[in-house]
Amino acid sequence: MTIAPAETVRCSAWAHSVGLDPIGSAGSYRGFLLVEVPLPWPRDIGDIPEMAAVRDLLGSRGVRLQALVPAGTSLRAIAYLPPIGERFAGFVRREAEHGPDLVGTVASLLSDPAEASNDGRRDVLVCTHGRRDVCCGSLGTELAVRLDPVTLPEGVRPWRTSHTGGHRFAPTFIVLPEATAWAYADADLIDRVLRRRGETTEVVDRYRGCAGLSSPAVQALECEVLRRVGWRLLDRPRGGSTEPGGHTRLIVEQPGGQSEIWEGHVEPGRRLAVPDCGRPIDEARKFETEWVVRDVHSLA
């Protein structure tokens, strides 16, 4: 599909038309805080008074705040906290009901993280924030309402959530605690990711990256390693770094205490103007840079 400069376009349709690679767009966070908040939501959930207070409490922790469409009569807050250890293998989950004292509930969830423990539950967040982006509001909501908790793997709970970033890749979803973010989603992709079904080569082109890793370059290298070694990578503690000039390293801890080291050269690729949803491309105010990974190899 060719889009003329003066033609209005949905951002997701534009991304599809140019084959925009989503890797490196997941963001990097020290955790996630999920709060059930009744609709309607404003464009910025921080404009909701109680959420603004929570955002102030989070301060500089590096924890991303997400609103959830309530699933029942009682409201919950779910904290995904930094794991113990140098490298990332998934956040640690805590949950509690919240009432009028949301800030107090959140403060309790954030305290004593060593007491937190994973209980096998996973949360799938599908962005449906229509006030923020039309594509997420339409495509994301259509996908979310098709997800039947009965058909999902045991312990998985689907949610409609607020803006996750990357609306140009709508529909998008995040899987927690592993913090993997995905683009151009459909029900089949969600099922493949949750069940680790099929080969990773079939889905990595829709991988936005792991939000527990430190940078877009490290996320891009991890994507190429995921392509090569398969799903087991997402269960291993891992972390990375990038040096000036694009030399990037991913260290993956293996059973028995040994580490596998992957290296590659990561550099910016195409830089494309991104249209505001529903506006012509020649009015674009934002740009998207793709990441190119070369010379990937293992030192082990």
The answer to whether residue 251 sits within a structural domain is: no
Whether 298 is covered by a domain: the verdict is no
Domain that holds residue 86: 8-213
Element (H, E) at 14: helix 11-18
Q: Is 265 domain-assigned?
A: no
Q: Return the pLDDT at 2.
A: 52
Asked, for residue 118, whether it belongs to a domain, the answer is yes
pLDDT in tens, 88-117: 999 999 999 998 899 999 999 998 655 555
Count of CB atoms situated within 10 Å of the CB of 261:
13
Nearest to 18 by CA among 291, 294, 292, 290: 290
Indicate the pTM of the whole model: 0.93
What is the radius of gyration, based on Cα positions, of the chain? 19
Residue 300 in this model has a pLDDT that exceeds 80: no
Contacts of 221 (CB under 8 A, 6+ apart): 240, 248, 249, 250, 262, 263, 264, 266, 293, 296
In a domain? residue 234: no
Question: Is residue 163 a part of any domain in this protein?
Answer: yes
- Per the structure, how many domains does the chain have? 1
> Is residue 136 very low, low, confident or very high in pLDDT (cuts 50, 70, 90)?
confident
In a domain, 237, yes or no: no
Tens digit of pLDDT for each residue in 25-45? 999 999 999 999 999 999 999
Is the residue at 228 inside a domain?
A: no
Cα separation, 174 vs 190, in Å, equals: 10
Least-confidence region, from 160-169, 173-182, 200-209: 160-169
Conformation bin of residue 232: beta by default, left when phi > 0, alpha when psi is -120 to 50: alpha
Residue 133: predicted pLDDT: 82
